[in-house]
Amino acid sequence: MRKLSMEELNRKSVDEFKQSPKTPVIVVLENIRSAYNVGSVFRTADAFLVNAIYICGYSAKPPHKEIKKTALGAEETVSWRHFKTAAEAIAELRATGYKVYAIEQVKDSISLEKFDAAENKIAVVFGNEVTGVEQSTIHLCDGSIEIPQLGMKHSLNIATAAGVVLWEMVRARMP
Q: Is the pTM for the entire model greater than 0.85? A: yes
Please give the pLDDT value at position 8.
92
Q: Where are the beta strands (DSSP E) in the chain?
A: 23-30, 50-56, 80-83, 99-103, 110-111, 122-126, 143-146
Provide the 3-class DSSP secondary structure of residue 3.
coil
The pLDDT value given to residue 91: 98
- pLDDT score at 17: 87
Mean pLDDT split into 10-residue runs, the chain, 175 residues: 90 88 96 98 97 98 97 96 98 98 96 92 97 98 96 91 97 87
What is the tens place of the pLDDT at every residue in 10-58?
A: 888 889 988 999 999 999 999 999 999 999 999 999 999 999 999 999 9
